[in-house]
């Protein structure tokens, strides 16, 4: 091999000392110089030396996991992302309800709702930030106030029932809200409902009656309160459907907070019981989780289809039954299970009919 070719192969030149000078030339047994290294050996030696093997740092591992998760999230379908939001919201709500039931009657209900609403409103205002003046503008102040009042009524009824009846029963009865929405859509929104959906609605109310378990002593007043919570919840749904055409989500939540805090201020002050440090922990926890649950559900319906996400709401019954059994030793009765099965079946059928009707109207409407 010529000197020029060897210099070219080893990288010798004006850049500095070539690699050939750093490599030992093999020697024969008699000590005489041997042959110079082959070019292939030189290329191998010129390759950068591998770094010392060491365990990857925790930061690099977390970064890789974040990158992989972000890539998976970007490639996921809208319904899959909506499903993740929805399931996370249901888990958050389960913790919130469990915290509320854990507090029990130690803290007056109006005080709990007042603290919860103050924390939720503070979070919403912080999120709104500089756009707060815009969020305070509303074209329908009367309907905003009405929605705040029925929201308070729904909370008072629903949370009162949670304190006195099993979580699974209260959750199953709350599913009747969809049935009330069907009736309200006809009476208030003037929507058309076919005979099949009316039959499903009637069967659903039969399931609710079974869960109420009427006896010789009459209906359970706390179970009736749960029905009242579902009825007022249907009013919330209808009002949001009307407000959603012109109002921002932040505007709806801010006015809800204003109405609730104004109405609850005096009774919360009159019945105030100063919470212990442990009770403050649970109050803050249920408030933050309640806020997160509302945000997650709103986000779920923004990215996913309602017909695909709504059936996931029935997993609340499983979570409520598990929470009630593990933490409060509650065992759902047979009437609760039978009635819940009827209500869930009727509600699923109603949602499927609604989805078909929506698809049909979209296909028949002009582009």
Give the tens place of pLDDT for each residue, 28-64: 444 455 555 555 544 545 555 555 545 556 667 777 7
Q: Are 21 and 156 part of one and the same domain?
A: no
Q: What's the longest Cα–Cα distance across the chain?
A: 115
The answer to the question of residue 304 being in a domain is yes
Q: Are 39 and 149 part of one and the same domain?
A: no
d(CA 296, CA 290): 10
The answer to the question of residue 290 being in a domain is yes
The answer to the question of residue 73 being in a domain is no
d(CA 222, CA 226): 6
The answer to the question of residue 130 being in a domain is yes
Q: Are 252 and 319 part of one and the same domain?
A: yes
Average confidence (pLDDT) per 10 residues, the chain, 367 residues: 46 42 46 52 51 58 74 79 85 90 89 93 88 88 92 93 88 84 80 78 84 65 90 86 79 90 95 94 93 82 68 78 86 85 80 56 36
Q: Which residue has the tokens 């039931």?
A: 101
Token pair of 288 as six digits: 């933050």
Token pair of 367 as six digits: 């582009």
Asked if residue 153 lies in contact with residue 233, where contact means CB atoms within 8 angstroms, the answer is no
Asked if residue 1 lies in contact with residue 36, where contact means CB atoms within 8 angstroms, the answer is yes
The reported pLDDT for the residue numbered 14 is 41
Query: In sequence order, what are the beta bridge partners of 13?
Result: 16
Instruction: Give how many domains the chain has, as a whole number.
Output: 2
What residues make up the domain containing 293?
Answer: 81-351
Q: Are 101 and 40 part of one and the same domain?
A: no
Q: Are 90 and 209 part of one and the same domain?
A: yes
Q: Are 129 and 32 part of one and the same domain?
A: no
The answer to the question of residue 62 being in a domain is no
Closest by CA to 282, choosing from 148, 122, 119, 160, is 119
DSSP assignment of 195-210 equals HHHHHHHHHHHHHHHH
d(CA 200, CA 344): 10
Number of neighbours of residue 285 by Cβ within 10 angstroms: 16
Q: Are 16 and 134 part of one and the same domain?
A: no
Prediction pTM value:
0.70
Q: Are 36 and 93 part of one and the same domain?
A: no
The reported pLDDT for the residue numbered 156 is 94
Asked if residue 162 lies in contact with residue 101, where contact means CB atoms within 8 angstroms, the answer is yes
Q: Are 139 and 250 part of one and the same domain?
A: yes
Q: Are 108 and 9 part of one and the same domain?
A: no
d(CA 179, CA 201): 6
The answer to the question of residue 72 being in a domain is no
The answer to the question of residue 69 being in a domain is no
Q: Are 243 and 113 part of one and the same domain?
A: yes
Number of neighbours of residue 131 by Cβ within 10 angstroms: 11
Token pair of 209 as six digits: 């009656």
Asked if residue 200 lies in contact with residue 353, where contact means CB atoms within 8 angstroms, the answer is yes
The answer to the question of residue 222 being in a domain is yes
The reported pLDDT for the residue numbered 365 is 35
Q: Are 313 and 237 part of one and the same domain?
A: yes
Cα–Cα distances in angstroms (integers) from residue 166 to residues 22, 175, 321, 360, in the given order: 82, 15, 8, 41
Asked if residue 207 lies in contact with residue 341, where contact means CB atoms within 8 angstroms, the answer is yes
Asked if residue 156 lies in contact with residue 109, where contact means CB atoms within 8 angstroms, the answer is yes
């Amino acid at each position: 091999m010529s000197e020029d070719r060897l210099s070219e192969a080893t990288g010798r030149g004006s850049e500095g000392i070539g690699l050939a000078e750093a490599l030992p030339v093999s020697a024969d047994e008699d000590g005489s110089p041997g042959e110079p290294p082959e070019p292939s050996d030189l290329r191998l030696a010129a390759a950068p030396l591998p770094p010392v093997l060491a365990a990857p740092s925790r930061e690099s591992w977390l970064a890789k996991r974040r990158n992989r998760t972000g890539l998976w999230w970007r490639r996921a379908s809208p319904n899959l992302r909506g499903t993740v939001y929805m399931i996370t919201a249901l888990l958050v709500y389960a913790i919130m309800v469990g915290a509320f039931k854990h507090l029990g009657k130690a803290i007056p209900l109006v005080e709990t709702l007042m603290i919860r609403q103050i924390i939720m409103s503070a979070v919403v205002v912080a999120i709104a930030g500089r756009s707060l003046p815009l969020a305070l503008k509303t074209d329908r102040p009367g309907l905003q106030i009405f929605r705040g009042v029925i929201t308070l009524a729904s909370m008072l009824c629903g949370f009162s029932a949670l304190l006195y009846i099993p979580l699974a029963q209260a959750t199953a009865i709350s599913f009747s809200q969809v049935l009330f929405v069907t009736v309200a859509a006809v009476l208030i929104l003037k929507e058309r409902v076919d005979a099949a959906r009316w039959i499903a609605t009637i069967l659903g109310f039969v399931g609710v009656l079974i869960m109420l378990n009427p006896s010789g002593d009459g209906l359970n007043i706390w179970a009736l309160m749960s029905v009242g919570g579902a009825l007022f919840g249907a009013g919330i749904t209808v009002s949001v459907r009307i407000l959603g055409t012109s109002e921002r989500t932040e505007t709806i939540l801010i006015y809800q907070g204003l109405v609730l805090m104004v109405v609850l201020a005096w009774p919360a002050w009159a019945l105030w019981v100063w919470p212990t440090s442990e009770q403050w922990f649970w109050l803050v926890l249920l408030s933050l989780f309640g806020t997160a649950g509302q945000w997650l559900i709103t986000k779920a319906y923004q990215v996913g289809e309602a017909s695909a996400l709504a059936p996931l709401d029935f997993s609340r019954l499983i979570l409520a039954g598990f929470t009630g059994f593990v933490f409060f030793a509650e065992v759902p009765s047979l009437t609760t299970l039978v009635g819940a099965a009827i209500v869930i079946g009727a509600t699923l059928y109603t949602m499927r009919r609604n989805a078909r009707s929506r698809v049909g109207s979209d296909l028949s409407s002009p582009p």
